[in-house]
Homo-oligomer: A and B are copies of this chain.
Amino acid sequence: MNNSKQTRDLLLRSTQLDVDSIVMELRALRQASLESRNRHDRPPRLPSRRIMASVAEGLSAAMFPNRLGSSELADEGIDHYVGHILNMTLRELMVQIQNELHYNSGLEMLSDEDRAQSIAITQSFAKRLPQIRLLLESDIKAAYEGDPAARNVDEVLVCYPGIMAIMHYRLAHVLHGLGVPLIARMISEIAHSVTGIEIHPGAQIGGSFFIDHGTGVVIGETAIIGQNVRLYQAVTLGAKRFPVDENGALVKGNLRHPIVEDDVVIYAGATILGRITIGRGSTVGGNVWLTRSVPPGSNISQAQMRQEVYENGAGI
């Protein structure tokens, strides 16, 4: 905030910056916008993305204190560190949960029900942390075993963007299930912005999940992924089309993303759309565009797709 003296002198002679009228115009726009949403007297108070980022960091450190927390801790001090970080982080999280519940209620003040609910959600979430760590250990092991460039599991944990994205997803997924989808979405978007991997918190993903490289991966809200699945960069598990109701408005919430069964590998750039099923143990090749279910054990490659096209003739 250090402007030069020069600048300031010039501005002193100029009153044309006219911040006041911009402030008034912006106020008018805010009012109009609130009124159009029937919130004119209740500007939204949302959970804070910045605070959720520190919550996610704190939870990661609590789960993996030596490697993602402070590497300076002697072993005897770790439990104090973990306990302290959980105390602070879970309380911060609860306040954000209150914010989301309050926002949803549309009430002027937080109701007692929502207050009690925020405690209950935080408690349920906290209890799930050890289980989340267990799942993440299976993911890390899968990465180590699935990448010839990985030298050890510690490197995977601290370096691989796929692990970071999955860790945030697993935290977000539990919160999504407990009824705070906005906070859950914030957590997954924090990982998205760092890794380029977007996993909707609503997706269901089994253990030993590995995403290599990862930039450009998109996994949709109703996708279901089994155990031991491996994805490469730029894979999309998306919706094929968005049905609209009689008014032309989108139908929200229907099952529209793929089911990927156990032990499937999907190579880079593959696009898989719609509520189809990729059968157990299948391999989907790079850049494949797939909108039909395939049976277990399938081996789908781009060339194969084209061949199929020729065989089907007018099917094109």
Contacts and interface: CB of A to CB of B under 8 A. Distances in A.
Given A16-B123, A145-B250, A153-B37, A133 B26 contact: yes
B95 A7 contact: yes
Contacts of A88: 1, 77
A310 B316 CA distance: 10
Interface in A1-27: 1-20, 22-23, 25-27
Contacts of A72: 1-3, 8, 91
Nearest to A89: B1
A146 B244 CA distance: 10
Interface string A81-99: 1111111101110110011
Given A19-B80, A215-B216, A236 B233 contact: yes
Nearest to A271: B286
Contact of A186 (B70, B127, B148, B158): B158
Contacts of A110: 5-6, 9
A3 B161 contact: no
Contacts of A75: 12, 43
How many copies of this chain sit in the oligomeric assembly?
A: 6
A66 B83 contact: no
A164 to B, nearest CB: 8
Interface residues of A, number: 145
Contact of A29 (B73, B78, B134, B236): B134
A129 interface: yes
B302 A306 contact: no
A273 interface: yes
A92 to B, nearest CB: 7
Contacts of A5: 4, 6, 45, 95, 98-99, 102, 110
Taking chain A's interface residues, is the majority helix, strand, or loop, or is none over half, making it mixed? helix
A281 interface: no
Contacts of A102: 5
Select the residue from A75, A146, A273, A302 with max chain B CB neighbours within 10 A.
A75
A145 B249 contact: yes
A196 interface: yes
A227 interface: no
Contacts of A44: 66-67, 154
A252 B155 CA distance: 15
A250 to B, nearest CB: 5
Q: Which of A145, A149, A160, A306 has the most CB of B within 10 A?
A: A149
Given A6-B115, A10-B115, 12 more contacts: A1-B72, A2-B2, A5-B110, A20-B76, A27-B78, A30-B65, A46-B66, A46-B71, A81-B84, A83-B83, A160-B189, A269-B271
